[in-house]
Amino acid sequence: MIYLDNNATTNLHPEIADLISHSLYKNWGNPSASYHFGSKEKLTIEKARELVSNLINSHPNEILFTSCATESNSTVFNTIFEQFSNSSKNKIITTKIEHSSIIENCKLAETKGFEVIYLDVDEEGMINLDELETAISSNTCLVSIMWANNETGVIYPVRQVADYCQSKNVLFHCDAVQAVGKVHIDLEEIQIDYLSLSAHKIHGPKGIGALYIRSGTPIKPLIYGGGQENGIRGGTYNTAYIAALGKACELAKLNLNSYIKNTSYMRNIFEQLLSEEFENIYFNGRNSLRIPNTSNFGFKGIDSEIILNFLNNQDIFLSSGSACTSNVITPSHVITAMKSYESANEAIRLSLSSLNSVDEIKEIIEKLKTLISLL
Ligand code: PLP
C-alpha cells in the first residue's frame, strides 16, 4: 500500500506501541491511588506533560490532557459559554475554513445567543488581517483561528493575530493540530491563550490530545468527575496514552528539522511532476505559506472521486476534503470558501510523512498518467 493521507491520521511509531503495551500490561495501576503501584504513575503523567510542553515551548502546568483535539476545542468553547453567556461580550470571530470541531462549536454558540463572524479567505486560502481588525470590537470575547489548514496546509498569520488579540484584550484560541510537529512552535514568543493538539497526527495513538492554556487564562471543565487535572478534566487517567502523547511529542521535536526537509522535498517533486505531466492540473493554496507535507490539487473538469476510487483500487490512499454525513457527500467547505463548489468537487489532498519515499511519489504520478489518458 501507499499511504498518503497523513493529515487524517498517521501510523503508530513502533517505540510508542511498545511503550503503550508496557504501560497497559505492567504499569496499569490507577495514578490517583494512594499506594505505590498506582501513584508512581503520576510521575509518568508529569513526565509526559513536560514533553508536550517542550514541543511548543510552554510550561508543563499549562498542559491539560484530553481525549482528543475535538475535546480540547470543545473545552475552550465551553469555557467561553460559561464565562460570557448573558454578558455584553458575546461575539466570537473565526474563519470559514476551520475544522468541523470548531465550526460545530460556533453553530452551538449561535444557539446560545453568541454572534459569530466567519472570516472569508481569498483564492489562496488566506484571511485578510484588516477584516479581522475591523471585526474585533469591544464585545468580542474569543478569536479562534487555526495554525494550519488540514486540507490545504495553508499556514495562518497566528503571530499577528495573537498580537492583535492581546492588544484588544480578546482571548485567542488556535487549533494547531496540523501544525504541531510540522513547524516550529514557540509559545513564549507567540501570545496564544489556548492551543489544541492531538497525538494521532504525529505517530501517536488516536484518542488522546491536549489543550495548552496560558497561565492565568480562564478555563472551565467540560467533563466533571474525580478531580483529575486539578478538577478541570474528570476521568481516570489514561496513563498509557498520555505517556504515548508525551513520547510522540518528544520524537516530533527530535525529528522536526528532518521532517520539514524530507516532506517538503517530496512534495516539491510531486507538484513539479504534476505540473509537467498534466495540462489540466491546478493547485489549491500553493502560493501561500504552507506546512511542508501537504499538497491540494485538482484536475479541471474531473471529479476527485473518480481519481480517488481508481487509486483506492490499487491500494494508494489519498483523500478529498469531502465530508460524508448520512450518506450524503458534501464537497469540502474549505475549497468552496477559497474557490467554488466545482473546485471543491475536484479537490484531492496528498499529505506525507517522513516514511513516504520519492519512489512512491513517482508511482502515483505513473498511475495518474494511466488514468487521465483513459478519461
Ligand atoms: N482540528 C484539525 C485541524 C484537525 O485536522 C483534526 C483532525 O483531523 C481535529 C481538529 C480533530 O482532532 P481529533 O481527531 O484529535 O479530535
- Decide if 246 contacts 47 (C-beta within 8 A): yes
Distance 84 CA to ligand 1 centre (A): 25
Separation CA 275–CA 269 (nearest Å): 10
- Decide if 175 contacts 196 (C-beta within 8 A): yes
Atom of ligand 1 nearest to the CA of 98: 3
Backbone φ, ψ for residue 299 (5° rounding):
-105, 120
Does the Cβ of 99 fall within 6 Å of ligand 1? Answer: yes
Whether 324 is catalytic is yes
C-alpha closest to that of 4 among 367, 204, 294? 294
The ranges of the chain with pLDDT < 70 are 324-328
Q: What is the pLDDT of residue 329?
A: 79
Q: Which residue owns the Cα nearest ligand 1 atom 5?
A: 150
- Decide if 194 contacts 171 (C-beta within 8 A): yes
Q: Which residue owns the Cα nearest ligand 1 atom 12?
A: 69
Residue type, 84: F
> Which residue matches cell numbers 469591544?
138
Does the Cβ of 150 fall within 6 Å of ligand 1? Answer: yes
Separation CA 94–CA 115 (nearest Å): 11
Does the Cβ of 177 fall within 6 Å of ligand 1? Answer: yes
C-alpha closest to that of 146 among 357, 363, 334, 309? 334
Among 10, 65, 158, 201, which residue has the most ligand 1 atoms within 8 Å of its CB, making it the best to mutate? Answer: 201
Distance 335 CA to ligand 1 centre (A): 18
Grid cell at residue 83:
464565562
Does the Cβ of 68 fall within 6 Å of ligand 1? Answer: yes
Q: What is the pLDDT of residue 304?
A: 96
Does the Cβ of 356 fall within 6 Å of ligand 1? Answer: no
Cα first-last separation, the chain: 24
pTM above 0.95, yes or no: yes
Q: What is the pLDDT of residue 321?
A: 78
- DSSP type of residue 116: E
Atom of ligand 1 nearest to the CA of 198: 15
Separation CA 52–CA 42 (nearest Å): 15
Does the Cβ of 151 fall within 6 Å of ligand 1? Answer: no
Separation CA 151–CA 286 (nearest Å): 12
